[in-house]
């Protein structure tokens, strides 16, 4: 596909990885200070000026507990902000990728969630991201909805950044063992989104590194990969870790529709090992 690609939320984990892969191509990457997606007029004007062929909409309010505390802001950003971007995409004649979440599900399914399983979010974050999916679908036909899970990258604060700086004396570290999902390398996701956007396979897709684990399993794998056998870990239940947002017990996704069009991601353990090699280098 030729023409300009726009990335929203370019200052975030995924946005930075998309920008790295689009470097040297016809692309405009916009962080929050360059494009606040809650400003409908600004969004429309900016995207009309650029006239992109593709918009990858990665900007969002992503603090799951923070969304619970400020539901109005979560709705304004994740639902209305997405509607603003989708309307501007429609007017510019652009295709759009909307990045959504595994937290649109309630976690009661036994086994991984498929693309057309029923949604039933438990949290303000999950609801407002689902409203974003619906808002974009109302406006656009040439739309990819890409649901992903538990992103990490070397940029910003995330699950891994805490563990890479831990001291043995900080232990035992307590991690929840009864919530599972797919830890996903933001670089792998960026590459898969760009591959998917080359197809005409519009609709809902799950894009995660293959396989799932718990927060505890993920932490154990990170510490093993970092060679930190000196840090003690303790497995706890979600009941022992109260938080503002309700989180699904099983939030594992399967990448069925993307695989059908040849877009695949490697297993999460392999992606994590290569990430650890990169940060060590």
Ligand X SMILES: NC(=O)c1ccc[n+]([C@@H]2O[C@H](COP(=O)([O-])OP(=O)(O)OC[C@H]3O[C@@H](n4cnc5c(N)ncnc54)[C@H](OP(=O)(O)O)[C@@H]3O)[C@@H](O)[C@H]2O)c1
Smallest gap from Cβ 271 to ligand X, in A, equals 14
Nearer to ligand X, 46 or 149 (CB): 149
Least Cβ distance, residue 9 to ligand X (angstroms): 3
Q: Among 104, 93, 95, which Cα is nearest to 203's? A: 95
| Pair 250, 108: CB distance under 8 Å | yes
Comparing CB distances to ligand X, the nearer of 172 and 267 is 267
Instruction: Specify the residue, 171 or 238, whose C-beta has the smaller distance to ligand X.
Output: 238
Other C-beta atoms within 10 Å of 277: how many? 10
Alpha helices in 62-176, H assignment, sequence order = 64-69, 71-74, 81-92, 124-139, 159-164
CB closer to ligand X out of 48 and 168: 48
Work out the number of other CB atoms within 10 angstroms of the CB of residue 124.
25
Helix (H) or strand (E) holding 24: none
In the structure encoding, which two tokens stand for residue 185, read together?
Answer: 């390398």
- Please tell me which residue in 75, 103, 113, 125 is annotated as part of the active site: 125
Under the rule (CB under 6 A), what is the footprint of ligand X? 9, 11-15, 32, 35-38, 58-62, 77, 81, 99, 101, 129, 148-151, 156
- When the beta carbons of 137 and 171 are compared against ligand X, the nearer one is 137
Closest approach, Cβ 236 to ligand X, in A, equals: 20
Task: Give the CB-nearest residue to ligand X.
Answer: 12
Active site residue 116: no
State the nearest-atom distance from the C-beta of 173 to ligand X, in Å: 19
- DSSP character at residue 171: P
H or E element: which one contains 20? helix 13-22
Q: How far apart are CA 273 and CA 276, in angstroms?
A: 5
DSSP 106: -
Q: Closest Cα to residue 108, out of 207, 252, 268?
A: 252
Q: Smallest gap, in angstroms, from Cβ of residue 82 to ligand X?
A: 9
Just list the catalytic residues: 125
């Amino acid at each position: 596909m030729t023409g300009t690609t726009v990335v929203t939320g370019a200052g975030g984990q995924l946005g930075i990885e998309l920008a790295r892969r689009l470097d040297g191509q016809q692309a405009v990457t916009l962080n929050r200070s360059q494009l606040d997606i809650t400003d409908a007029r600004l969004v429309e004007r900016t995207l009309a000026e650029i006239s992109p062929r593709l918009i990858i909409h990665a900007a969002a309010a992503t603090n799951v507990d923070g969304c619970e505390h400020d539901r109005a802001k979560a709705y304004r950003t994740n639902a209305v902000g997405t509607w603003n971007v989708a309307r501007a995409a429609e007017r510019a004649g652009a295709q759009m990728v909307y990045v959504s979440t595994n937290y649109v599900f309630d976690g009661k399914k036994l086994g991984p969630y498929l693309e057309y399983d029923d949604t039933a979010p438990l949290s303000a974050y999950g609801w407002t991201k689902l409203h974003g999916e619906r808002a974009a679908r109302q406006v656009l036909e040439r739309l990819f909805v890409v649901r992903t899970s538990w992103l990490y990258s070397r940029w910003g604060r995330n699950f891994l950044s805490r563990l890479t700086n831990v001291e043995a004396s900080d232990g035992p570290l307590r991690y929840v063992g009864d919530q599972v999902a797919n830890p996903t390398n933001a670089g792998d996701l960026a590459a898969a989104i760009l591959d998917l956007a080359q197809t005409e396979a519009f609709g809902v897709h799950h894009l995660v590194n293959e396989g799932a684990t718990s927060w505890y399993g993920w932490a154990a794998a990170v510490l093993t990969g970092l060679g930190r056998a000196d840090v003690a870990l303790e497995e706890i239940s979600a009941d022992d870790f109260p938080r503002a947002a309700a989180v699904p017990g099983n939030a594992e996704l399967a990448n069925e529709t993307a695989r059908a069009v040849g877009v695949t991601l490697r297993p999460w353990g392999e992606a994590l090992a290569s990430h650890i090699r990169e940060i060590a280098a």
